[in-house]
Amino acid sequence: MRSNQRTMRLAVALALTLMCAARVSAQEPETPKDSTFDLGSILYSDDHGGLTISSGKTYNRVEGLPIYFGPTYKDRAGRANLSISALGIIRTSNKFHWDAENLGHRLTADLRFGGRRGFAFGAVSFDEVAKIEPWQLSEPDGGLAAFFLKRDYFDFFGRHGARVYASAFRSDYASLTLGLSSERWSSRSARDNFALFRGDEAWRVNPRINDGLVHVADLTFNFDTRNSELRPWAGWFVNAQYEHGSGDFETAGTPLGPDDVLTDVHHLSYGRAFFDLRRYNRISPKRQINGRVVLGGWLHGDPLPLERRFSVGGIGTIPGFDFRRTGIGTDVGQCSGETVGRPAQCERVGLVQLEYRQELVSELFDIFNRNGIRVRGASFRVKPTAVAFADAGRGWLVGKREGDLQYPSGSIPGIDTWRTDVGLGLDLGIAGLYVAKAVSSAKEPANFFVRIRSRF
């Protein structure tokens, strides 16, 4: 009995940690992703530095819970702000087993000139586990689904290398960053990680990637005028990326393209772009219409390695279709058929999401909103909001026209080939309850799902 009680307490503590970490980070101004690491719990600090321990704000079948710890230092260097951190990483997989796969690091140095407008230079050395397609689902939704339900909605690979970058920024709204990196990408396997429910089930296979040493040049533009990252009512969000990669990749596992033959090493030089546009519109004090368009994929050069391919489907994109399910007919979700692990193999992807939100009014919830709900000293408010949404998207390969899966570079598949769904939900502020039904495939059953954060 005591063992079960300790397990439940650990589960609740981890869930609250993931949820609170995501909410706190959403309230803070965003910094360039590779300049400084979000420092969660400060154990000791003075005016310039301290010792820090922080969760990675995620939980998954490869790492378990990644824990970052180490010294940090912040000071002024002339007219610039200097930030340095040396964080080690220990992962909870295999019951904290002390091995190379459970250890990593992230060392950063960032020098920023200017306040609301300026530029920055930095360098990062890392040995981390990275998500493939991190744009699909935000945290803590992904981590909580893995911890409680043993459902991991991401695939992962190892990144070990270094990166330098230069960034120009204007306030907290806009930034343009150029980066150069040399990295070794490696396949990672699902490990022994605890899940509160479905303990007898095996984790989904983490698919193999194209291992290799790659040199990457990337250009990223961010523009964010949302009034809130966690619960936005109005504003724009734009994330535009271009990446050029070149390296020697092992092709063991899954072929790189439909016409490729497996060899020991395959040299690739590719160009890839990604574009995520969101608009939030408050049309009245209690009504809102939001829209999102995502386009991404191969631009030029050789076929994309598996680390840089795309897919759609699942609670983060088109929830009327199960994650990584092929279904009947052409697989326009991940372009992979019955490959082990069903990795994302689409070379291009398109996604459109629309939603209408209306805040509900009742005396019960008005009482909660006036006084707040207190749990162990923490206070939060319940604002029930009805949500109606529709989604459409698909992926495809690039090349000579072949059925409904491969299309010439300058064309986009007809809308009648896209996966579509509609759905309804009730967002309570602390969590949202949703149901989605596929429209383009009438035989697909309705899916019920829970989101901690907004759908997008």
Distance CA 366, CA 179 (A): 49
Domains and CATH numbers, the chain: 31-451 (2.40.160.50)
pLDDT on residue 415: 93
Strands 406-407 and 385-398: parallel
- Please choose, from the candidates 108, 91, 86, the residue with its C-alpha nearest in 3D space to the C-alpha of residue 31: 108
Distance CA 389, CA 277 (A): 17
End-to-end, the C-alpha distance of the chain in Å comes to 41
pLDDT on residue 92: 95
Do the beta carbons of residue 32 and residue 175 sit within 8 Å? yes
Please name the helix (run of DSSP H) or strand (run of DSSP E) that holds residue 217, with its range, or none.
Answer: strand 212-224
Tokens of 17: 């940690």
pLDDT on residue 34: 40
Q: Which amino acid is at 281?
A: N
Q: What is the average pLDDT value for the chain, to the nearest integer?
A: 85
pLDDT on residue 258: 43
pTM metric for this prediction: 0.85
Please name the helix (run of DSSP H) or strand (run of DSSP E) that holds residue 365, with its range, or none.
Answer: helix 363-371
10-residue mean pLDDT profile of the chain (456 residues): values are 48 48 36 39 58 90 96 89 95 92 96 92 98 94 94 96 96 93 96 92 92 97 93 95 95 52 74 98 95 97 94 95 80 80 91 96 57 50 88 96 92 94 94 96 92 92
pLDDT on residue 369: 53
Distance CA 262, CA 249 (A): 11
Distance CA 299, CA 272 (A): 5
Would you mind telling me the total number of residues written for the chain in this entry? 456
pLDDT on residue 184: 97
> With the C-alpha atoms ordered 130, 131, 132, 134, is the resulting torsion angle positive or negative?
negative
Distance CA 453, CA 449 (A): 12
pLDDT on residue 178: 98
Distance CA 385, CA 362 (A): 11
